[in-house]
Chains A and B, each alone.
Chain A
Amino acid sequence: MKVLQIAINDLRLFMVNRGNLVGLLAIPVGMTIILGIFIPSGRPSRIRVDLIDHDAGEVSAQFLQSLRQANSSIVLCPLDNDPEDFCQMEGDSTLGTEQALERVREGDSLALIEIPPGFSEQVRAFEPVRIRYVSLESFSAPSFIRQAVEAALTRVNGAVIASRIGAAVLPGSIVDEGYPQRVYTRAAELWEESPASVDFVLSAGEAPDPSSAPDLGGFGQSVPGMGSMFALFTVLGGMGILVGEKKQWTLQRLATMPITRAQLLGGKILSRFSLGTLQYGVVFAIGVVTGINFGRDLVALVLVILTFTLTCTALSFALGGFLKNEQQAAGVTNLLGLTLAPLGGAWWPLELVPPFMRVVGHVSPVAWAMDSYTSLMFRNGELQDVLVPLLVLAGMSAALFGFGIKRFRYEL
């Protein structure tokens, strides 16, 4: 009960300061809307898919061409790398299997397609042959890459079947040696000219109508990004309030009252945690209004919000013990907020930054939260897909709380 009363009192102290309300409502809402409008889409318009072609034959070339046609967003790495090194090959022109698997695990590419040696010959001979497809995506989730691969294989198989049928139905006397190949080539050409195809659009929400509505795809990035950043700011701002309480001696006064240390700290933690989730709520409400896709596992989404806010709260407690005045607290809040947020991908997707920056970025809890939002909101993932980031955030929280509570002193 006292935990709740301390938390409620802290929230009241926060709310009576109008400056805090501006920080909680106006600035986050404004920035989320501005970024949401000016970022044309929350995700990049191209997708990295790693390719290892051990065959390098005619059929595999045909398959890859079909794959490109099936989904124009797919960039086959390193084959289709551009001068800006979209594939992030950093000078390498080939990929090894281990390297490619690591890139998939790290999220540097969304999938690996490995074509075995002798693929072309085996396909032509109508012998069983398997392409290896590796992705972190849940197999229960619809995958546009997997769908594209299947579509391309259908074309290849279709062309082969056409050539074999063509050779089988004509009398042997008029079928020369090159006939099946000609039928295959023609069938493949016809596949390419096939009038019906899918135009894949990468958007967080419903496909926008460019003629009437503004592109709201950017909200898919700005809502979770700004939500995480401002939750971090709001919670870290609690360091200054705690320092202020020590300075005005109200914290010490509470310590002389019949309250346990756990109740007192629990109240302080609960108030910061509540403000952090409230901050998330404010920003995510913009997502609701703009109709972004929150994914299909809302429980997992809420868990990410709560766990990340808990990590921010723990961070504020761990650092709070080192601070001597409100100015220091404000400085540390701004410093951390403005480094951890962009580093963790709150301002732009981490897929846009070089691989080493992605690794460095995961020092920031924001990166783990953003990974989770990407899985849930862009890839339609489920709880099992965000278990690792959630565990990392929970681990960070435990370590930071342990350190912060041990270092906690009532005096400055």
Chain B
Amino acid sequence: MQSMVVTHDLTKTFRRPDGSEVQAVKGVELEIHKGEIFSLLGPNGAGKTTTISMMSGLLEPTQGDALIGGHSISKQPLQAKRLIGVVPQDIALYPSLNARQNLEFFGKMYDLRGNDLSGRVEEVLSFIGLTDRQKDKVDTFSGGMKRRLNVGVGLLHRPELVFMDEPTVGIDPQSRRRILDTVKQLRDEQGMTVLYTTHLMEEAQELSDRVGIIDHGEVIALGTQGDLIQQVGEEDQLVFAVGDQAVDSGLLQQIRDQVPGVTRTSYDPPGPGGESVTNTSGLILIQAKRGRKALPDILQITNRAGVEIQSVEVREPDLEAVFLNLTGRALRD
């Protein structure tokens, strides 16, 4: 299978104002195949955006390199950048210009001119469903429309590779659905390679041919979803909602020690989680082989401890479970 992106020892170290250093990305080794959707899944602050920024030439790697279509982003940046379309996490548009003016300006930066440019602008406007709003200023657009235009700019020059950095952050479910469908279309209909970063397991599961899980700047697992889930084994995840009741570590230890099949326990308190997730209830998260069978014993222990269980959910193994298994934390922690 042909490689579109190959990174070698990709590392980024930032210097803090106090002079100390923080390694945001640590020796990332990735290979993304041509024509696949590759998701980089990790919690906020894991290093996804820094990784994508180095691959797109925005940040200079402290160490290592990324080859885009065989071109080094450090040594041949212009050749590499011609192959890339970037959809940043932020809405990177000029709000005082209209949609068409934005597309035309950015198109010129990709060396599109004359009829090529206007034809391509029309196609993109149609693809993102903004043809009828092309003359409206961007600052009059809804969040979803801005997101779609943000995606459109990255597609103007028909790139072979699209970097999408959390493109669904902060938008309504309808617009999110539209963008996810767009990503699939790019692969299925236009043969593009997509590197998609997200902290939402559901998006990675729906879109990805392969997934890289990143945490604290390191890629800790990489493969197809089947490969990754297999790493966890056949464990289920049991999620007990406990409202705002206090859960001490002794209770979790008791469950681990006394219930057969339980391999891991954790407590996720109520409060804000990731950017689009808020916990209204505290959650006890338990990894267990044959989870349904372990359920009565767990309920008995929580009952004895005086913790009232408000709801129970049994989840089959998924990427969330993989992350939990690898890090001991939920993705949104």
**Taking beta carbons and an 8 Å cutoff, which residues of A are in contact with B?**
2, 5-6, 9, 12-13, 16-17, 248-250, 252-260, 410
6 interchain residue pairs of minimum CB distance: A249-B92, A249-B90, A253-B92, A256-B86, A256-B56, A258-B81
Distance to closest chain B CB from A146 (angstroms): 57
Closest to A255 in B: B58
Contact in complex: B93, A16 (CB < 8 Å): no
Can you identify 14 A-B contacts, CB atoms within 8 angstroms?
A9-B94, A13-B94, A13-B96, A16-B97, A248-B91, A249-B88, A253-B88, A254-B109, A256-B57, A256-B81, A257-B86, A257-B109, A258-B81, A258-B82
Distance to closest chain B CB from A382 (angstroms): 43
Given A5-B109, A257-B86, 20 more A-B residue pairs with CB atoms under 8 Å apart are A5-B105, A13-B97, A16-B97, A17-B96, A249-B90, A249-B92, A250-B94, A252-B58, A252-B92, A253-B86, A253-B92, A255-B58, A256-B58, A256-B81, A256-B84, A258-B78, A258-B109, A258-B110, A259-B109, A260-B78
Give the interface SS of chain B, mostly helix, strand, loop or mixed: loop
CB neighbours of B93 from chain A (8 A): 248, 250
Q: Which of B58, B86, B109 contacts A410 (CB 8 A)?
A: B58
A248 to B95, CA, bound (A): 9
A255 to B90, CA, bound (A): 14
Closest to B156 in A: A257
A16 to B93, CA, bound (A): 15
Distance to closest chain B CB from A18 (angstroms): 11
Contact in complex: B105, A257 (CB < 8 Å): no
A6 to B94, CA, bound (A): 13
Distance to closest chain A CB from B170 (angstroms): 14
Distance to closest chain A CB from B94 (angstroms): 6
Task: Judge if B111 is at the interface, Cβ distance under 8 Å.
Answer: yes
Task: Judge if B106 is at the interface, Cβ distance under 8 Å.
Answer: yes
Task: Judge if B153 is at the interface, Cβ distance under 8 Å.
Answer: yes
Contact in complex: B109, A2 (CB < 8 Å): yes
CB neighbours of A12 from chain B (8 A): 97, 101
CB neighbours of A13 from chain B (8 A): 94, 96-97
Q: When each residue 106-127 of chain B gets 1 if its CB lies under 8 Å from chain A and 0 otherwise, what string results?
A: 1011110000000000000000
Q: Which of A6, A248, A257 contacts B81 (CB 8 A)?
A: A257
A242 to B252, CA, bound (A): 53
CB neighbours of A6 from chain B (8 A): 109
Q: Which of A9, A17, A252 contacts B88 (CB 8 A)?
A: A252
A259 to B106, CA, bound (A): 11
Q: When each residue 145-165 of chain B gets 1 if its CB lies under 8 Å from chain A and 0 otherwise, what string results?
A: 000000001000000000000
Contact in complex: B90, A248 (CB < 8 Å): yes
Chain B residues 64 to 100 lying within 8 A of chain A, measured CB to CB, are 78, 81-82, 84, 86, 88, 90-97
CB neighbours of B153 from chain A (8 A): 253
Chain B residues 216 to 233 lying within 8 A of chain A, measured CB to CB, are none
- In this complex, the member of B56, B81, B88, B105 whose beta carbon has the largest number of chain A beta carbons within 10 angstroms is B105
Distance to closest chain A CB from B257 (angstroms): 49
- In this complex, the member of A5, A6, A12, A257 whose beta carbon has the largest number of chain B beta carbons within 10 angstroms is A257
Closest to B82 in A: A258
Distance to closest chain A CB from B143 (angstroms): 14
CB neighbours of B90 from chain A (8 A): 248-249, 252
A249 to B153, CA, bound (A): 13
Contact in complex: B106, A257 (CB < 8 Å): yes
Closest to A15 in B: B96
Distance to closest chain A CB from B78 (angstroms): 5
A279 to B252, CA, bound (A): 71
Contact in complex: A248, B78 (CB < 8 Å): no
A9 to B93, CA, bound (A): 12
Q: Which of B82, B92, B96, B108 contacts A2 (CB 8 A)?
A: B108
Closest to A410 in B: B58
A2 to B111, CA, bound (A): 9
A258 to B83, CA, bound (A): 9
A16 to B95, CA, bound (A): 11
CB neighbours of A254 from chain B (8 A): 109
